[in-house]
Amino acid sequence: MATQTHSSDVVDLINAIDSRLKRVHTQSLDISFNELLDMYKSDELNIHPDYQRLFRWTEGARSRFIESLLLEMPIPPIYVIEEEEGKYILIDGLQRISSYLHLRGELEAEHLDPKISRGEKLVLTDCDIVEKLNGKTFDDLGTALQIRLKRAFIRVEVVRRGSDTRFKYHIFKRLNTGGQILTPQQIRNCTIRLLGSIFNDFIIDLSEQDTFKACIENITEEQRLGSFDQELVLRFFALKNYRDQFKHDVDDFLTEYMEKVSDPDIDFSFDYEKERAIFLKTFAIFEKVLGELAFACVNRRRNELTRSFTVYHFEAFTIGIQPYINNINIDDESMIRRLEQVLRNIKLDEEFIRITTGGGRNSPGLLKQRIEFVEDKVREVV
């Protein structure tokens, strides 16, 4: 009897896997780098989807990749998704393709590191196998080596356009989760767009609003390039609407919330017009009250706010004022001045400092304490 049950389980497992395979269509191609360059220039290959704002490899890493091509060393494949018109979206392999484009001086401005000028060709450096390559550009290599590079092939794994949308989503998620190239928000921007783009575009649009940008002025350039501004928009809505589901891992919590709002197959309510109005009012208030210091921490020796940004203040203040958002009149100067004083006092309060700077700050318990601390203090003035 046990053997029959085990056999039935195996059959069910095989059928479950086979049913998924029927929804997957892939193709393997060997394409030369010169063909990829032509596809890029003719907009047949999009190497700059929403998840990636910047080409990140160092010049040494780019150079060693070119050295690998010249030495005909094995290189990993790249992965693309085929769109309806037959064009490709790159989902893994940006650094390799961009290294070749930089060597040829063909990187478009929006794909460049700010240190690279448009049309600038890579000067090889830190090549450690053929050191004579160092200091050379593509033009210095001579015809034979130039042709070798142009004809160098890379395996391209294509997820065909007939494939199930969820499969496309999961393959990108598996390829990039845990990698060092993309931030969690950049991964969300691309993967979740494959489920539905409305919420993704909504987040990006709100991240570009002037009042919001003014309040997060002090995030670092690295954070900005890693789409942290967009993650903050997502974090606001997730904590406002879904906080009871937060257990411990912030990244998983944010991804789950964004998936639920974005996936048209999931019945999950999100009133875009209402939520937009709440977001805009929230950051209009903070921009008027404290501006770029809205989420700044305190210099305890000087007992004053510093030009800085801390996400724990962002969470506590933006969510802590929500119970009173309708009571706050942004045109009432007296109320705004009272609110400013309360928020400054909160930041200087020893208890608030303790729950925003100690250990375990990502725990649901401390998050709850921070938000309730702000709620209690704001209640007194609105």
Q: Mean pLDDT throughout 5-12?
A: 67
CB under 8 Å to 110, separation ≥6 — which residues? 48
The most confident of the ranges 13-17, 79-83, 153-157, 273-277 is 273-277
State what percent of residues in the chain have pLDDT above 70: 83
153 - beta bridge partners? 32
Strands 153-159 and 78-82, bridge-based pairing: parallel
Q: How confident is the model at residue 189 (pLDDT cuts 50, 70, 90)?
A: confident
pLDDT digits (tens, 9 = 90+) for 329-353: 999 999 999 999 999 999 999 999 9
Contact 191, 173 (CB under 8 A): yes
Nearest to 183 by CA among 346, 52, 374: 52
pLDDT digits (tens, 9 = 90+) for 277-321: 999 999 999 999 999 999 998 877 777 788 999 999 999 999 999
Q: Mean pLDDT throughout 185-205?
A: 85
pLDDT at 171: 67
Q: Mean pLDDT throughout 204-215?
A: 96
Q: How confident is the model at residue 177 (pLDDT cuts 50, 70, 90)?
A: very low
pLDDT digits (tens, 9 = 90+) for 64-110: 999 999 999 999 898 888 877 888 988 778 889 999 999 999 976 55
pLDDT at 135: 96
Q: What is the 3-state secondary structure (H, E, C) of 211-272?
A: HHHHHCCCCCHHHHHCCHHHHHHHHHHHHHHHHHHCCCCHHHHHHHHHHHHHCCCCCCCCCH
Return the sign of the alpha-carbon dihedral for residues 326, 328, 330, 332: positive
pLDDT at 265: 83
79 - beta bridge partners? 92, 157
Q: How confident is the model at residue 367 (pLDDT cuts 50, 70, 90)?
A: very high
Q: In angstroms, what CA-CA distances link 370 with 8, 335, 339, 356? A: 52, 23, 17, 7
**Element at 34 (helix H, strand E):** helix 33-41
Rama region for 276: left / alpha / beta (φ>0; ψ in -120 to 50; rest)? alpha
State the average pLDDT for the chain. Answer: 85
pLDDT at 140: 96
pLDDT at 81: 82
Q: Which residue has the higher pLDDT, 141 or 357?
A: 141
Q: How confident is the model at residue 179 (pLDDT cuts 50, 70, 90)?
A: very low
User: DSSP states of 55-118 as a string?
Assistant: ----HHHHHHHHHHHHTT-----EEEEE-TTS-EEEEE-HHHHHHHHHHHT---GGGS-TTSPT
Q: In what order do the strands lie in the sheet with 88-92?
A: 26-32, 153-159, 78-82, 88-92, 45-46
pLDDT exceeds cutoff 60 at 2:
no
Contact 228, 213 (CB under 8 A): no
CA neighbours closer than 13 Å in the CB half-sphere of residue 83? 12
- pTM above threshold 0.85: no
Q: How confident is the model at residue 14 (pLDDT cuts 50, 70, 90)?
A: low
pLDDT exceeds cutoff 50 at 186:
yes
**Tokens of residue 349, six digits:** 């309060």
pLDDT at 362: 76
Nearest to 293 by CA among 283, 303, 308: 308
Contact 313, 320 (CB under 8 A): no
